[in-house]
Amino acid sequence: MRPESEQHPLDDRLAGTRSIRCETVAAALALMAVAVLSAIALADPPLAARLTVENGVIEWLQVLLDAGAALLFARDLVRNARATGHVSPLDLAIVACLIGLIMGEIDLDRVLFGTKVASTRFFLNGKVAIYWRLLAFLFVWGVPVAIGAFVLLRFRAFWREGWAAVAQPWGRVLATSVAIAFLTELFEKQLGHVPGVPQYFLEELLELVSSIGFFVAAAARPRA
């Protein structure tokens, strides 16, 4: 058995190794994605356009990465809830946001109802059966409101868990990915009108980078 004084430096070195691996892997994969897609855009713009079109290859790759991250974070959510008897507001918010991203990418409302559900026009459309409108209202608005209310009620725990996560490599990767996804959504229209690149190229490229970060963060999160 090693003395405790010798174990701490070893633990610190292992933590440092994990830190380098997590953040370096996320950065390396993101740079690879940017390099490959940029090369395709320069060499074959029509191919780049086909790859980054709505419901195209890159968008479905994002969905797969987001789904993988959601499953990993959901597993943590369930396991921690069973172990502690409490639901982590941070994990719940992460899983809910990832599911929301996936639904937005695949246009689930259009697939199920043939139109965009998150609009007043749908809820006032008399041609749609009332039970479908009620179900859509509960699903689109009721669930997010309930989750948001839960997070607000446990905001201190959410804040504490959030800062604890950012202090770790996986949390920093996650926070960076959230920032990229938010800024991409915020400037979506402007990104679609940049001359010299296909319409959805920059938007899909940045969303892919954020999805890579989500998955790496979920995979790198320490687990007992």
For 3-43, how does the pLDDT look when each residue is reduced to its tens digit (9 = 90+)?
544 444 444 444 444 445 889 999 999 999 999 999 999 99
Using CA atoms of 197, 200, 206, 209 in order, give the dihedral in degrees to the nearest 10.
-100
Q: Which residues of the chain have pLDDT under 50?
A: 1-2, 4-19
Say which residues have a Cβ less than 8 Å from residue 223's Cβ, sequence separation at least 6. Answer: 76
Structure tokens, 29: 């994969």
Residue ranges of domains in the chain: 46-220
User: Does residue 136 contact residue 109 with C-beta atoms inside 8 Å?
Assistant: yes
For 62-71, how does the pLDDT look when each residue is reduced to its tens digit (9 = 90+)?
999 999 999 9
Task: Give residue 20's pLDDT.
Answer: 59
Task: Give residue 2's pLDDT.
Answer: 45
